[in-house]
Amino acid sequence: MKSSRIVEKICQELKGVKPKSSWGETSLFYNPENLLPNGVYFCTIKEKNGDNDKASNLDRKGVFRVAIGLLPTRYNALFGQKPSRPSKGQIISTEHDFTLLNELMPHPIYGCMSWAQILSPTKEEFERIFPYIVESHASAVIKFNKKAYK
């Protein structure tokens, strides 16, 4: 599945989503009517390594990361206890190979914040994890409403 198709599907199927692209990454925000400067982000698609983010080796041809901000309860159900926050420039300490394609796993840097990643998912695997994106979007709606309408 192509990264552009993933962004398109999320924007078509979930209300109030605003994509923002820069530096090889598209962040997906919930921000209906642009009420907040960015809104609340819940998912990102990244297509290249960053200075402090090379663990997934995104510079391989055709490889991209879908990162999802999971609810803590969902993260714990999928992966167990969240790891400690890594030191600056380091990755979380788990037994995962963060370069594997098409496998949902903790995000190498933001796993400590309940984020997960999947590299270059197939259409079938993306459909299987799409409910987690829907759940993350619903959480972003709640956070957005607290910020925008306080």
| pLDDT of 125 | 98
| pLDDT of 108 | 97
d(CA 113, CA 48): 21
Q: State how many domains the chain has.
A: 1
d(CA 18, CA 42): 11
| pLDDT of 140 | 98
pTM > 0.85: yes
Query: Could you say which DSSP state residue 85 is in?
Result: P
Q: Residue 145: count other Cβ atoms within 10 Å of its Cβ.
A: 13
> What domain range is 15 assigned to?
3-148
**Per-residue tens of pLDDT for the chain, all 150 residues:** 999 999 999 999 999 999 999 888 999 999 999 999 989 999 999 999 988 889 999 999 999 999 999 999 999 999 999 999 999 889 999 999 999 999 999 999 999 999 999 999 999 999 999 999 999 999 999 999 999 987
d(CA 93, CA 2): 29
d(CA 41, CA 122): 23
